[in-house]
Amino acid sequence: MIRLLACLFIIGSLTWTGHEYAKNLANRPRFIRMFKNALQILEAEIVYSQATIKESLTSVANQIPNPISALFQQIAADIQEDKEQLYPIWESHVDKFYQKHPIQFEDKEILQQFGRTLGQHDIVQQQKYIRLTINHLERKLTEAEEKNHRYGKMSRSIGFLVGTFIVLLLL
């Protein structure tokens, strides 16, 4: 009886692991798209409204869905006028976001590089940096969609098959 429960646990846990991996593969393109949209809105706020960074981030947070909305809202809330540079705030919040959500290290690096330039230049230069970041995210979006298409269904099956294989080896 215990052996049967152990076998079911092994198969179930590895199947669940495969499904979680597939879910992360499917969610990554969605997050990259949301970041792209957020940066496009941020560009419009900075260039056309000529709002401050704090106002722009708050406006972006009001226009995009969670959890990225919460990220921008937290960054805007932590900005204190003339107290601290923006980059350490941006970096710490992006790190926290990276730990909780299915974005990869390369995506985090792109966002952190953008954070280094945010608020450091005039409007024209800022617009160039935003567009450069959007281009990088578009490239990562294409890669993420291809990876999801290639490995998404396969990872679900592999989880189950590896679990079954391990059970057969143990019997």
| Angle subtended by helix axes 68-78 and 53-63, to nearest 10 | 160
Q: Is 100 exposed, middle or buried (0-12, 13-18, 19+ CB in 10 A)?
A: exposed
Q: For the residues 145-163, what does the mean pLDDT come to?
A: 87
pLDDT at position 81 is 60
Per-residue pLDDT of 75-133, as tens digits, reads 888 887 655 678 888 888 899 988 888 888 998 899 999 988 887 778 888 889 999 99
- The CA-CA-CA angle for residues 66, 34, 123, to 5°, reads 110
Higher-pLDDT residue of 130 and 171 is: 130
CA-atom Rg of the chain in angstroms: 21
pLDDT at position 84 is 63
Q: Residue 142 pLDDT > 90, yes or no?
A: yes
Per-residue pLDDT of 7-54, as tens digits, reads 889 889 999 999 988 988 888 999 999 999 999 999 888 888 887 888
Distances in Å between the alpha carbon of 2 and those of 8, 14, 102, 152?
10, 18, 36, 33
What is the three-class DSSP state of 129? helix
pTM score > 0.75 for this model? yes
How far is 44 from 35, CA to CA, in rounded Å? 14
Q: Is 62 exposed, middle or buried (0-12, 13-18, 19+ CB in 10 A)?
A: exposed
pLDDT at position 30 is 92
Helical spans, DSSP H, in the chain: 2-44, 53-63, 68-78, 86-100, 105-117, 123-170
Per-residue pLDDT of 62-75, as tens digits, reads 899 888 888 888 88
pLDDT at position 115 is 87
pLDDT at position 129 is 92
pLDDT at position 29 is 93
Q: What percent of the chain has pLDDT over 70?
A: 98
